């Protein structure tokens, strides 16, 4: 259910094709995606024929051990890198066919990013960090700041608007990063190991916040993690192994106990 939201809407550029799919329709379509790094003599197959679909409004977790290809897959969906073969389609736009400038525009318009290390600008206040993507997208600075403030209130930082990152805890910095990732109301927010630097309780709070806030705004969430606690917030889980999809499960079908996953649900190869 969408809650009524006091956060002012960002101005919308003329409709891009990725505005197309209705809630619950297919938003991202990956088809036989391969990514090879390295030289011809020493190729590293980071992704092997990855094929799957992500629905609009879904919260998807990508799980897998270190080196299984999570970040590489993210960079394909986030239009940060190009696949070696196969196709990536978001909202009916084939990213393979875009030129570099078009890809950059697509990123700015449709993708928000949350990183493990927060990546806030150290010299700027929380408010300025969150307003920046809106200003860069051409919004009036006053309007951008007004929306940034409402976003920061929503993530529980009403009392920290004028603080700089080094005056904030890790959890607070990640809240700022979530507000920043969502300020332009992207189509997708990509969160690569967003709880990697946080303690357990803070990590759970951050994941719950990301899930709830994204749902309110109708934003699709894709996180990469090797942290089982993250699964609670997800709709589906994609298990990666050696650059390929091992299996896809609905989170409701995965049992999580205090010690981790039960034996039936544990990924082949054990815990990451």
Does 71 interact with ligand ADP (rule: CB under 6 A)? yes
Q: Which two tokens stand for residue 191?
A: 């969160």
Which residue lies nearer to ligand ADP by CB, 70 or 215? 70
Does 72 interact with ligand ADP (rule: CB under 6 A)? yes
Does 269 interact with ligand ADP (rule: CB under 6 A)? no
Are the CB atoms for 76 and 224 separated by under 8 Å? Answer: no
Q: Write out the DSSP string of 93-123.
A: EEGGG--HHHHHHHHHHHEEEEETT----TT
Which residue lies nearer to Mg ion by CB, 251 or 272? 272
The enclosing H or E element of 172 equals: helix 170-182
Which residue lies nearer to ligand ADP by CB, 80 or 103? 80
Residue carrying structure tokens 């609905």: 250
Which residues in this chain contact Mg ion in the complex, by CB under 5 A? Answer: 70-71
What are the φ/ψ torsions at residue 78 (nearest 5 degrees)? -85, 10
CA distance 77 to 33: 11
C-beta of 189: minimal distance to ligand ADP in Å? 17
Question: How many amino acids of this chain bind ligand ADP (CB under 6 A)?
Answer: 12
Does 16 interact with ligand ADP (rule: CB under 6 A)? no
**Local structure of 147: helix, strand or coil:** helix
Residues 6+ apart with CB under 8 A from 43: 36, 37
- Pick from 7, 27, 46, 111 the residue near ligand ADP by CB under 6 A: 46
Task: Pick what 39 binds: Mg ion, ligand ADP, none; C-beta below 5 to 8 Å, kind-dependent.
Answer: none
Does 112 interact with ligand ADP (rule: CB under 6 A)? no
- Pick from 70, 154, 160, 236 the residue near ligand ADP by CB under 6 A: 70
Residues engaged in binding ligand ADP (CB under 6 A)? 37-38, 44, 46, 64, 66-72
């Amino acid at each position: 259910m969408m809650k009524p939201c006091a956060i002012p809407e960002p101005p919308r550029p003329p409709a891009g094709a990725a505005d197309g799919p209705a809630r619950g329709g297919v938003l991202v379509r990956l088809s036989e995606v391969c990514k090879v790094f390295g030289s011809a003599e020493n190729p590293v197959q980071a992704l092997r024929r990855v094929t799957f679909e992500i629905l609009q409004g879904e919260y998807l977790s990508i799980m897998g051990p270190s080196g299984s290809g999570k970040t590489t897959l993210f960079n394909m969906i986030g239009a940060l890198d190009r696949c070696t073969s196969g196709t990536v389609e978001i909202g009916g736009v084939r990213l393979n066919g875009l030129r570099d400038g078009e890809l950059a525009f697509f990123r700015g318009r449709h993708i928000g990013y949350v990183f493990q290390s927060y990546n806030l600008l150290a010299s700027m206040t929380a408010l300025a960090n969150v307003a920046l993507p809106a200003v860069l997208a051409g919004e009036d600075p006053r309007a951008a700041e007004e929306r940034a403030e409402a976003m920061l209130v929503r993530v529980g930082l009403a009392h920290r608007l004028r603080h700089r990152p080094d005056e904030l805890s890790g959890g607070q910095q990640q809240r700022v990063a979530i507000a920043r990732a969502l300020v332009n109301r992207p189509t997708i927010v990509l969160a690569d190991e967003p709880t990697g630097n946080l303690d357990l309780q803070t990590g759970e709070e951050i994941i719950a916040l990301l899930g709830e806030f994204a749902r309110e705004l109708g934003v699709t969430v894709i996180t990469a993690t090797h942290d089982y606690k993250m699964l609670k917030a997800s709709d589906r889980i994609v298990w990666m192994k050696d650059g390929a999809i091992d299996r896809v499960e609905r989170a409701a079908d995965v049992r999580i106990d205090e010690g981790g996953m039960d034996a039936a649900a544990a990924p082949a190869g054990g815990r990451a």
